[in-house]
Structure 1
Amino acid sequence: MSVIELVFNSTIAHPLISGLLFTLLFLLSYAVQRIYVHPIAHIPGPFIAKLSSVWLWYHSYIGDEATIVHELHAQYGPLVRVSPNTVDISDPAAIAPIYVQRGGFPKADCYVNFDIEGHKTIFSTTDNEYRSPRAKAVVALFSTKSIKENEGPLYGCMDRMVARMKEEKTREGRVDVLNLTRSLAVDAVSTQLFRQNYNGVAEKGDTLSISAFVDTFVAVGRFFYLPNRLFSWLEWGTERFLGDINTATSFDVVERFAEELLEKTEAGDNNFPGRLLSIGLSKSEVKAQCKDLIFAGTDSTGMNIATICRQLANHPDKYQHLRSELHANAKLDSSSRQEIQSLSYLSAVIKEGLRISMANPTRLPRIVSVNDFYLNGTHIPNNTIVGCAAYSLHLSPAIFPSPWEFRPERWLEPNVTPQMNVSFFAWGSGNRACIARNLATTELFMATERVVSSGVLDGARIGPEVEIWEWFNSSVKGGKIELFWDMKR
């Protein structure tokens, strides 16, 4: 009897052996298809990532995805396959076709995991027809004109934050700048967009009352790439079994603030909820959109301002250079004085702070929607998920020498290069770039100007190295970015 006949007769006689054999053959054919036959089989990447999305989910969950993928680019080049149907791209030449040209490719389905209370938001929706009327209704509030008209109240937020920083510095000899800049960010967002100051800076607790609310949404990013049904089960389980009283209290605080805001707002009022109500949205959806704004406006901007404060404290020479520029400009008469966003060194500090901050380190995934997408001669087929990450773009040593060093001078003429400008990705790019970038940029300029001009950072020294979980929004391990002063004289 031949071997083939023996195996055939054995499988008939033993159903268990037959089942195991067919399972083995299925898995083998599945692996061969993923590795050698799949439409993106020609793009390099880790063996396990080609087989299963679990590799990507794991690194996203533990918060080292951006670092690991950045290392893979050093090994494989600008195109890396990070899951069976996902390509991470570190080449800035990809930004225009993916995010800008013809409106860019559509957002990947995983953005639905950032919906709030069953509602799509201006950020999370993948449907441009859904987003367009909502964004159009509120975009004027983010304009340079609107922000300029509200400059006085916004500067009031900055001055209260500086006063609080001086108070804590004098009393404790230490300041958690992340908590203060988060407090400032929610105050600035609410002042500009809700016309009602949240007054986070006035809170006397160690942690901003909405921090647990914000941190919960940040932590959603660890599950960003999961299919929505699996994500929903995990979200339910987390809330059911891992929730705590502080988080519940923080959610209640935000709920009450949003409820009170809507009670005072009517359709047609010139604020964020009023403009959304005027296009016929339900109060339930408007409240969800307001909560999304509170989360997004607090987290990234707070992280960016705190990073700039820390870097200036760590580089006294750059701090003094900036202070001299601001002082010289302030001494000029009103006809000669420059707008702060025109000051060269301040602008360089802000841009370098955004480059190194990593408030949003991971890729912004999109779905290829054309059949002939080529990048430097490599074909990336339709329906592939692609994306660029600020982490890899901002830390490319070929474009930014000594990428981890804080060097504002790299953004001054004649040092700045076209490649640096193309690679700058702090706000995303195209028509789905951050809708609040004008407001966030203004906050960065105003806050940095006020902090530096006040001299509050004189003598500051930094604390331990800041480590982050590299989720969609980064999360600082330990929850603090602290500065210290020697108050003994």
Structure 2
Amino acid sequence: MYYLLFLYFAFSSLFVYRLFFHPLRKYPGPILAALTGWYEAYYNIVKGGGLVAEIERLHKLHGPVVRVGPNTLHFNDRQAYHDIYTHGSTLVKEREFYSAIGAHAPQGSLIFCDPEVSKQRRGLLQPLFSRKAVMSLEYTIQQKIDKLLAILKSNYNSSSTAVSMAVAYRALTTDIITSYCFAESATNNLESPGLCHPILQGIQEATRMLWFQRHFPFLIPFVLNVPQKLILWLSPKFEGHLKMKAGFERQIDCVINDPETLSIAEHETVFYHLLEPKDQERPSRASLVDEAFILVIAGSDTVGNACNIGSFYALKYPSIHSKLKKELEEVWVDADRPMSYTALEKLPYLTAFIKEVLRFSIGIVHPLPRVVGPSTPKIGGLKIPSGTIVEMSTMFLHMNPEVFPDPHTFNPDRWLVEDTNQMMLDLAPFSKGPRMCLGLNLAWCELYLIFGNILRRLDLKLLVTDDTINSFASDNCVDYLVPRWEKEYRLFVQNIA
């Protein structure tokens, strides 16, 4: 009885403090959000990725700054975004959030909150993802694209065999990143039935458990420390994670036991750079495995989503498709001979199209929390108390009508104006600042080569059914860290020579 009374008074005191005495008490927002972090959990889990949609509603009610948690502010202000992420050198990642979503890879750089530790790991990985390195390995990307095109021509050449492009592009981008980073593919999705290896299928299914992982972070460490047979009996979908991890472990053990294998690989791999640090201690075996896992997930999601969205709009609007085809055909006379990335990136309309695709695809849609430091300057013109968690979803940056008029309309022409500086500043599919995506050079190369080859070398037809998605605008997506859509679309190759 006394114990219950103690809990009652403890929680009552905490709630009174959060409502009436907390440093964020003056900021508007739902009372429940001010009282408990389970407000976020409700929209993430019960509403199935509905947090960003709810935050959008709150901004419409309360303005550019909303209290979305007991100690959390969300902004809808482009200056605030740049204060937090682009120039926010005095803010650090919020440890609880990143430790939870990265619980399956606890020693990977995703969850490094110490800026110096993160900088050291990025320094090891950067050589593999420089523009020079990407261009030297362009052939590995082209090989995978050629394979996908051949498969589409052979197996998906009628309306009755139309393929889900979400599946096809995820297969392609996963095979590209594994081949690029490890000189081999852990899944070979493009050679698997239906373009989806069971490992990838399991991993994609497991992403739907992300928010349970976020709000019940003890689940993943528990799962990873019980016998595998029990894990698979409880959750067969977890098999993909375990098999991919086992594959990385085998490759890493081989490299550690026989470093000469690095010299006989088809090309430099990520392990070459991670195992040869000059001024720091070599990462542990567990850290190498976790880093590999993070690279595969991060290296397939954003580009896969962007390609899926781009193909849809290229075929939905004949005017866009015809402009792309005409521009490509003028410079790419012989479709059987590959065209280089450097040649494709000089094409103005293709470039405008890719930028609009990246704006629509958003990148990571979930707000990425940062913690205000004692020396943090103003954020969006406001002096925020030290220790406050601040965040802003990239969706609000990309869908800002002041920078992108009529933002929910897919319009590549917006990028053909003389001055695009402000739009480029606010185009952040790979984030901004010191923690921006390490693989953005690789991503740009993939996008140019994939769209160039798909649009120049194939005659694709959009299959429209009752289940076909009508728009990939942000208000149709749900938030599973990256955007997810309930509906998809299918394409098939027509007029094969």
TM norm. shorter chain > 0.5: yes
* Structure 1 residue 281, shift from structure 2 partner: 2.5
Q: Which moved more, 1:455-464 or 1:233-242?
A: 233-242
Q: Cα 1:224–1:246, aligned 2, differ >3 Å: closer, same or farther?
A: closer
Q: Give distance in 2, aligned partners of 1:92 and 1:283.
A: 41
1:170-206 CA distance string (max 9 Å, x none): 1544111111111111221122221224532122235
Q: Give distance in 2, aligned partners of 1:318 and 1:52.
A: 47
Aligned with 1:103: secondary structure?
coil
Q: 1:424-435 residue pairs with structure 2 within 5 A?
A: 424-435=427-438
Q: Give distance in 2, aligned partners of 1:46 and 1:459.
A: 43
Q: 1:375-454 residue pairs with structure 2 within 5 A?
A: 375-414=379-418, 416=420, 418=422, 420-454=423-457
1:278 corresponds in structure 2 to: 276
Contact 2:108 2:288 in 1 (8 A): no
1:42 aligns with 2:44: no
Q: 1:113-124 residue pairs with structure 2 within 5 A?
A: 113-115=100-102, 119-124=106-111
Aligned with 2:491: secondary structure?
strand
1:174 corresponds in structure 2 to: 162
Contact 1:108 1:385 in 2 (8 A): yes
Q: What is the Cα-based RMSD across aligned positions, in Å?
A: 3.4
2:139 corresponds in structure 1 to: 152
1:75 aligns with 2:61: yes
Aligned with 2:452: secondary structure?
helix
1:67-102 CA distance string (max 9 Å, x none): 111121122112111001011112111233222336
1:84 aligns with 2:70: yes
Aligned with 1:201: secondary structure?
helix
Aligned with 2:456: secondary structure?
helix
1:261 corresponds in structure 2 to: 251
* Structure 1 residue 368, shift from structure 2 partner: 0.5
Match of 2:175 among 176, 181, 187: 187
Q: In the alignment, residue 89 of structure 2 is paired with which amino acid? A: G
Q: Give distance in 1, aligned partners of 2:350 and 2:49.
A: 32
1:138-177 CA distance string (max 9 Å, x none): 2111011111111222111112112222233315441111
Q: Cα 1:72–1:231, aligned 2, differ >3 Å: closer, same or farther?
A: farther
Unmatched segments (≥5 aa) in structure 2 = none
2:81 corresponds in structure 1 to: 95
Q: In the alignment, residue 78 of structure 1 is paired with which amino acid? A: P
1:216-252 CA distance string (max 9 Å, x none): 553353246537447756998998598443541x235
* Structure 1 residue 114, shift from structure 2 partner: 3.5
* Structure 1 residue 108, shift from structure 2 partner: 0.6
* Structure 1 residue 292, shift from structure 2 partner: 1.7
Q: In the alignment, residue 49 of structure 2 is paired with which amino acid? A: G
Q: Cα 1:359–1:377, aligned 2, differ >3 Å: closer, same or farther?
A: closer
* Structure 1 residue 305, shift from structure 2 partner: 1.1
1:363 corresponds in structure 2 to: 367
Q: Give distance in 2, aligned partners of 1:262 and 1:234.
A: 23
Q: In the alignment, residue 269 of structure 2 is paired with which amino acid? A: N
* Structure 1 residue 432, shift from structure 2 partner: 0.6
Q: Cα 1:26–1:338, aligned 2, differ >3 Å: closer, same or farther?
A: closer
Match of 2:113 among 106, 126, 129: 126
* Structure 1 residue 322, shift from structure 2 partner: 0.9
Aligned with 2:332: secondary structure?
helix
TM-score, with structure 2 as normaliser: 0.84
Aligned with 1:378: secondary structure?
coil
Contact 2:152 2:492 in 1 (8 A): no
Q: Give distance in 2, aligned partners of 1:336 and 1:293.
A: 25
Between Structure 1 and Structure 2, how many residues are aligned? 468
> What is the percent sequence identity of the aligned residues?
23
1:103-138 CA distance string (max 9 Å, x none): 351111110123355632122221233333322122
Q: In the alignment, residue 450 of structure 1 is paired with which amino acid? A: N
Which is greater in Rg? 1
1:474 aligns with 2:463: no
Aligned with 2:215: secondary structure?
coil
Contact 1:221 1:473 in 2 (8 A): no
Contact 2:312 2:462 in 1 (8 A): no
Match of 1:202 among 184, 187, 191: 191
Contact 1:162 1:456 in 2 (8 A): no
Contact 2:92 2:372 in 1 (8 A): yes
Q: Give distance in 1, aligned partners of 2:482 and 2:234.
A: 20
* Structure 1 residue 313, shift from structure 2 partner: 1.9
Match of 2:236 among 245, 254, 262: 245
Q: In the alignment, residue 77 of structure 1 is paired with which amino acid? A: G
Contact 1:50 1:82 in 2 (8 A): yes
* Structure 1 residue 335, shift from structure 2 partner: 13
Q: Which moved more, 1:192-201 or 1:311-320?
A: 192-201
Q: In the alignment, residue 93 of structure 2 is paired with which amino acid? A: K
Q: In the alignment, residue 193 of structure 2 is paired with which amino acid? A: K
Contact 2:91 2:376 in 1 (8 A): no
2:310 corresponds in structure 1 to: 308
Q: Which moved more, 1:101-110 or 1:41-50?
A: 101-110
Q: In the alignment, residue 214 of structure 1 is paired with which amino acid? A: I
TM-score, with structure 1 as normaliser: 0.85
* Structure 1 residue 375, shift from structure 2 partner: 3.1
Q: Cα 1:170–1:366, aligned 2, differ >3 Å: closer, same or farther?
A: same
Contact 2:203 2:237 in 1 (8 A): no
2:129 corresponds in structure 1 to: 142
* Structure 1 residue 284, shift from structure 2 partner: 3.1
Q: Which moved more, 1:455-464 or 1:465-474?
A: 455-464
Q: Give distance in 2, aligned partners of 1:56 and 1:283.
A: 35
